[in-house]
Amino acid sequence: MRCGAKCFLVKIEADEGEQISCVIARTPAEARKNFRDKYGAASPILSVREKKRKNGI
């Protein structure tokens, strides 16, 4: 994990409906890039949101 990295929730459209995957990145754009590198460019991304931490650390 790099300095300044956060966990982003990436919502994609799949055959079974919508799925959510956690991606570690610094920005939402980098999260999209990392997701497409791992799962392929054909996966339609619906949204990218930062995962909020409960303990605030």
* Mean of pLDDT values over 7-28: 91
Strands (E), 1-57: 6-14, 17-25, 45-50
Query: Which 3 state secondary structure label does DSSP give 9?
Result: strand
pTM of the model: 0.80
28: tokens are 């939402």
Neighbours of 6 (CB within 10 A): 17
33-55 pLDDT, tens digit each: 999 998 888 889 999 999 987 77
pLDDT tops 90 at residue 26 = yes
d(C-alpha 46, C-alpha 1), whole Å: 25
Are 21 and 10 a contacting pair, CB within 8 Å?
Answer: yes
